[in-house]
Amino acid sequence: MTLPPRRIGPFTVSAIGLGCMNLSHAYGTKPEPADAEALLNRALDLGVTLLDTAALYGFGENERLVGRAVGHRRSEYTLASKCVLDVIDGKRGLDGSPAAIARTLDAALERLGTDHIDLYYLHRLDARVPIEDSVGALVRAREAGKIGAIGLSEMGAETIRRAQAVHPIAAVQTEYSPIVRNPEIAVLDTCRELGIGFVAFSPVARGLLAGAIASDDYVEGDIRRAMPRFAGEALRHNLKAVAAFDALAAEIGCSSAQLSLAWVLSRGEHVVPIPGTRSGTHLEENLGAIDVAITEEVAARIKAIFGPGAIRGARYAAPMQAQVDTEKFADEELA
């Protein structure tokens, strides 16, 4: 399989990358370590050259996994990780102070078994710390040779511009799919204007657009149990629109995941989706999205399927939503 290249800051990466989070936590039972390691190596074998992890994922275990599984193939991929969201006093915490960023980075380098992370993101905006101070910490890390480029995650256009004034930003990462369109308010255009790559996480809507969710009978530990749009009456309502999307995918001869990924890819040459998976079969299916064409008619039908009122429920529970700086729609449900 040959994946076409796209540019993210100074890096040329495969048009579809790999989000590594669910190899360690988030969506139910995590795979056995050997299976997770095999999946990462299979991704590289298939031409994926962007691997995305974070200090928070698996409370550090995901970075250890990536380092253990593919550290010996370090020259074959662009390595991205994140700070600010981290484990604080044994639980998820937010700290964008320069001192905390430096600590998280040094721990990440040790877990990954490397002395250099190619692309390092501020995972969320810490409103208690000026963005200029947080970016400044990463500028110093870059000058020290510990990172290659700076990224931002779930930040709005104004914050992006403030950060860019301190140092060129290579990438902005935000949730984006046919269901979650918030980047279209301002972030996509801001990235295009400033020459910043856009990395789309959850491009198949946390499995909703990949045939993975039929009910809210999630296993213990699945983060979707606490996400309003993935449970109860909201989910039952949302599955009606998902069924129409699934039917459209079948009509044009691809899977729902491929249609969703192809749609994300069609949003601009500066856009790179990073779907996650624990299955080698699904990995290959996802990469096949590069062969799916999104015509104007198909794009219009997708827009109609997910028109006003089609999706109910907030993206996150209130505590997590409070950490999101990306612009919100006026009628968006936030709790």
Provide DSSP, 79-144: EEEEESEEEETTEEEE--SHHHHHHHHHHHHHHHT-S-EEEEEE-S--TTS-HHHHHHHHHHHHHT
pLDDT tens sequence across 25-77: 899 889 999 999 999 999 999 999 999 999 999 999 999 999 999 999 999 99
Q: What is the DSSP string of 147-171?
A: EEEEEEES--HHHHHHHHHHS---E
pLDDT at 162 over 90: yes
The mean pLDDT value for 89-110 works out to 96
- Reading the block at residue 118, the tokens are 């190619």
d(CA 209, CA 270): 22
Give the whole-angstrom CA distance, residue 197 versus residue 6.
9
57 carries an active-site annotation = yes
Query: Is the pLDDT score of 1 beyond 80?
Result: no
Letter for the amino acid at 114? T
For residue 333, what pLDDT band results from cuts at 50, 70 and 90? Answer: confident
- State the Cα angle at 66 between 145 and 135, rounded to 5°: 40
Domain ranges of the chain: 5-207+265-292
Q: Are 155 and 163 in contact (CB under 8 A)?
A: yes
The whole-number pLDDT of residue 295 equals: 98
pLDDT digits (tens, 9 = 90+) for 247-262: 999 999 999 999 999 9
pLDDT at 2 exceeding the cut of 90: no
What does CATH list as the number for 5-207+265-292? 3.20.20.100
Give the pLDDT confidence score for residue 28 in this predicted structure. 81
331: pLDDT confidence band, cut at 50, 70 and 90? confident
Helices 131-143, 157-166: inter-axial angle, 10-degree rounding: 40
Q: Which residue is associated with the tokens 């006026």?
A: 330
Contact 84, 75 (CB under 8 A): no
Q: What pLDDT digit, counting tens, does each position of 231-243 carry?
A: 999 999 999 999 9
DSSP 208: T
Annotated active-site residue in 27, 57, 77, 316: 57
Q: How confident is the model at residue 323 (pLDDT cuts 50, 70, 90)?
A: very high
* Radius of gyration for the chain, computed over Cα atoms and rounded to the nearest angstrom: 19
Residue 179 CB contacts under 8 Å (≥ 6 apart), including other chains: 205, 208, 209, 306, 311
